[in-house]
Each structure stands twice: as structure tokens, then as C-alpha cells.
């Protein structure tokens, strides 16, 4: 059975995004880096203690893509945000904002009873959803 490994994110500034994701989500362990100067590519796979991983890929000359909010993103086919579970949504929301994220939607109740969510944009405008699951019954 397949198991999720990581999400890949094309970025304009690898170093800035590494600092953000370390401060915002605890992605501090560098699992792998690749440098391909001829192709103007640098990558880093970052990992948190709980196993969460992201691959940041910087390619010189890449074009930015930014969505105003999740509804705007859903209007274009393909990946447009990634989501992570958090234990305390309010604390996580404050942490990512302090790390340099911009608010898209403040913490609110989700459709599923007891669940809460919020959206932010990382420093380059990529959408990130924070989800606090409903308490166990």
C-alpha cells in the first residue's frame, strides 16, 4: 500500500524558504540536498521530528504562481495548497505568522464537527492550510 512521503514546492529563494519552514513547522532536519549548477537548480528535503517532509526546489528563472485564497486556487487544475494537522490551531497560526506567513483566513470551525482550520501564505505566497482535528470521542 502506498504511503505518503513528501510534498515538493518550487520556490524562488531556497534559503529564505528553508528558514521559514524551519521556524513555522519545525522542518529543521535536512534529509537531502542537490545542486545542479548547469540547470540552475538547488533542492533541499526538510524533515520535522514527527516525519513531516517537504522538498523545496529552486530553479533560476522559474515563474511565480499565486492564488488569492483556496477558492481561487480551486479554479486552476493542479496542486494549489498543502495541509498539515496541528495540535493547537491558535498557537500554530501565531507561530507561522511570526515566522513570516501572511493570513488568508483566520482560525474558524470546519465543516466536520469539532474540527478547525486556517489558511496562510508562506513568504512567497504559497497556500498552507492548518487543520486542528476534532477531539477524539
Spell out the domains of the chain, with CATH numbers in brackets: 7-59 (3.10.180.10), 70-132 (3.10.180.10)
Quick check: 96 pLDDT over 70?
A: yes
Give residue 78's pLDDT. 84
Quick check: 136 pLDDT over 90?
A: no
Quick check: 66 pLDDT over 90?
A: no
Give residue 3's pLDDT. 85
Residue 78 neighbours by CB under 8 Å, 6+ apart: none
The mean pLDDT value of the chain amounts to: 94
pTM over 0.85: yes
Task: Compute the distance between CA of residue 56 and CA of residue 15 in angstroms, rounded to an integer.
Answer: 9
Residue 51 is classified by DSSP as: S
Amino acid at each position: 500500500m502506498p504511503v505518503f512521503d513528501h510534498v515538493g514546492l518550487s520556490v524562488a529563494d531556497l534559503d529564505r524558504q528553508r528558514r521559514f519552514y524551519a521556524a513555522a513547522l519545525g522542518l529543521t532536519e535536512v534529509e537531502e540536498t542537490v545542486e545542479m549548477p548547469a540547470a540552475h537548480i538547488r533542492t533541499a528535503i526538510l524533515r520535522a521530528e514527527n516525519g513531516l517532509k517537504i522538498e523545496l526546489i529552486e530553479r533560476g528563472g522559474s515563474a511565480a504562481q499565486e492564488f488569492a485564497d483556496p477558492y481561487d486556487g480551486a479554479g486552476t487544475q493542479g496542486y494549489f495548497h498543502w495541509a498539515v494537522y496541528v495540535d493547537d490551531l491558535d498557537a500554530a497560526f501565531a507561530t507561522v505568522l511570526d515566522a513570516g506567513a501572511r493570513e488568508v483566513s483566520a482560525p474558524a470551525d470546519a465543516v466536520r464537527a469539532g474540527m478547525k482550520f486556517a489558511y496562510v501564505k508562506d513568504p512567497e505566497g504559497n497556500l498552507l492550510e492548518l487543520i486542528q482535528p476534532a477531539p477524539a470521542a
